[in-house]
Amino acid sequence: MQIKAPRGTYDILADDSYKWQYIEKVMKEVAEIFGYNEIRTPLFEHTELFERGVGESTDIVTKEMYTFHDKAERSLTLRPEGTASCARALIEHSLYNGVLPVKWYYTGPMFRYDRPQTGRYRQFHQFGIEAFGSNSPHLDAEVILVLVEILLRLGLKNYELHLNSVGCPECRENYRRHLIEHITPVKDKLCEDCQLRYTQNPLRVLDCKNESCHKAIEGYPTLYDNLCDECRNHYTKVQETLKDSGVAFIHDDNLVRGLDYYTNTAFEIHIPGIGAQSAVGGGGRYNGLVKDCGGPDLPGIGFALGIERLLLAIDTLGKKDFKAANIDVVVITMSDKYEDLAIQVLNHLRRHNIRSEKDYTGRSPRAQMKYANKLGARVVVLIGDEEVENGCLTIRNMQNKEQIQVENQELISNINNIL
């Protein structure tokens, strides 16, 4: 039986990997301009980290984690997101004692066991940033600005930024009570999931994908109306800073985000036209997370962008043509007795940064020429009896078909003149 990639995973082949490199380059450049440095954490962590850090009532923890026991019977989990690992690393290396805020970016695969569809995979990739150690609303705005700047540099101007505040634990608890009171009389009209979770986490009903749940709770009290003064001021300042920075946003009462650790600012970016999964990224403040993970009471804020969904969005622009890098030069031998010499020429070309190749499958000279055409070579170097006798090499310009013989030491300059 043929072995295929597991459901919900896929290969990134050569032409596509250039798109990935391009996007990753833009994201890293922007993050670094804003003062964020790269962190790389393990792809798996102790399961407990995500239970504590992401939250035990979340879909991610209850349904979607790839959890396994290793040979020593430790429960480990392939990371479903990046923030909990960053909080763990911050605590483990006591970086909260150093210069604050600690500003990091990361990129890499994440794993969630969900039903695959366009824009949703079991191994997918995120780029994210995190800033620990400041509760300034200016930092909230900065994090959103990083996200917006990335989208603009990728040419994705048609994004929609949704913004809300989910308050602090106190105003949220207050709100929770109001919301449960509002939902209880209509609870039978909710979907099965919401009926189960509304007493535990009623905010998730706002987040539900079923239109019927939204209809059932129409006229519900909003988080915004229940914010305490401090949270309301914080939210107002974030909004003002975004306005002053020229960033348009939509205040969205339904936006609560799926993860338990958010406090205050929550945001999501949507790009229309990329299918049902239109959220390309989201994030927010998570002031309780570091403490929940066993560290000091240190505030934090961040976002994660889904790279697959960014790619879908970039494809809708239909502009940029990504291709694997062409080979510039192919070294062709007229007889296999010159193979060793061809290797020396190839080494010489590559040392001078010229993308070059030779045949490794015993092709005839004619077939080597075809191979050079297929690779898109602009120059071939020919090695035959005549060249060896005269101690020179022949260069063929594949565009105008002109051939010249050159001395070995003039090879590079002559090729560079054509390329």
Q: How far is the CB of 120 from ligand AMP (least distance, A)?
A: 4
Region from 304-312, 338-346, 389-397, 404-412 binding ligand AMP, contact rule CB under 6 A: 304-312
Q: Is there a cis peptide before residue 42, judged by omega within 30 degrees of 0? A: no
284 phi/psi in degrees, rounded to 5: 160, -170
List % helix, strand, coil for the chain (3-state, nearest 5).
40, 20, 35
Q: How far is the CB of 111 from ligand AMP (least distance, A)?
A: 9
Region from 135-143, 177-185, 306-314, 348-356 binding ligand AMP, contact rule CB under 6 A: 306-314
Region from 11-19, 120-128, 311-319, 346-354 binding ligand AMP, contact rule CB under 6 A: 120-128
Q: Which helix (H) or strand (E) holds 24?
A: helix 14-33
Name the burial class of residue 406, with classes exposed (0-12), middle (13-18) and buried (19+) by CB atoms within 10 angstroms of its CB: middle
Name the residue nearer to ligand AMP (CB basis): 64 or 357.
Answer: 64
Instruction: Report the alpha-carbon distance of residue 214 to residue 204 in Å, rounded.
Output: 11
Instruction: By CB under 6 A, tell whether 306 contacts ligand AMP.
Output: yes
Instruction: Report the alpha-carbon distance of residue 36 to residue 28 in Å, rounded.
Output: 9
Q: How far is the CB of 81 from ligand AMP (least distance, A)?
A: 5
Q: Tokens 């670094």 correspond to what residue?
A: 32
Instruction: By CB under 6 A, tell whether 304 contacts ligand AMP.
Output: yes
List the alpha helices (DSSP H) in 184-303. Answer: 192-197, 203-206, 211-216, 229-244, 289-292
Region from 114-122, 132-140, 221-229, 356-364 binding ligand AMP, contact rule CB under 6 A: 114-122
Provide the token pair at 323.
């291709």
Q: How far is the CB of 276 from ligand AMP (least distance, A)?
A: 12
Q: Tokens 């939210």 correspond to what residue?
A: 235
Instruction: By CB under 6 A, tell whether 167 contacts ligand AMP.
Output: no
Instruction: By CB under 6 A, tell whether 286 contacts ligand AMP.
Output: no
Instruction: By CB under 6 A, tell whether 142 contacts ligand AMP.
Output: no
Return the exposure string of 8-20: e unless at least 16 CB atoms fall within 10 Å of the residue's CB, then b. beeeeeeeeebbb
Among 282, 295, 299, 300, interactor with ligand AMP by CB under 6 A: 282
- Of 224, 235, 225, 183, the residue nearest 204 (C-alpha): 183
Between strands 160-165 and 250-251, the pairing is: parallel
Q: How far is the CB of 161 from ligand AMP (least distance, A)?
A: 13
Instruction: By CB under 6 A, tell whether 280 contacts ligand AMP.
Output: yes
Compose the 50-89 pattern: x for residues touching ligand AMP by CB under 6 A, - for all others. -------------------------------x--------
Region from 153-161, 190-198, 301-309, 370-378 binding ligand AMP, contact rule CB under 6 A: 301-309
Check: CB of residue 403 under 8 Å from CB of residue 394: yes
Name the residue nearer to ligand AMP (CB basis): 50 or 121.
Answer: 121
Name the residue nearer to ligand AMP (CB basis): 249 or 371.
Answer: 249
Interface contacts to ligand AMP, rule CB under 6 A: 81, 112, 114, 119-121, 124, 126, 258, 279-282, 304, 306, 308-309
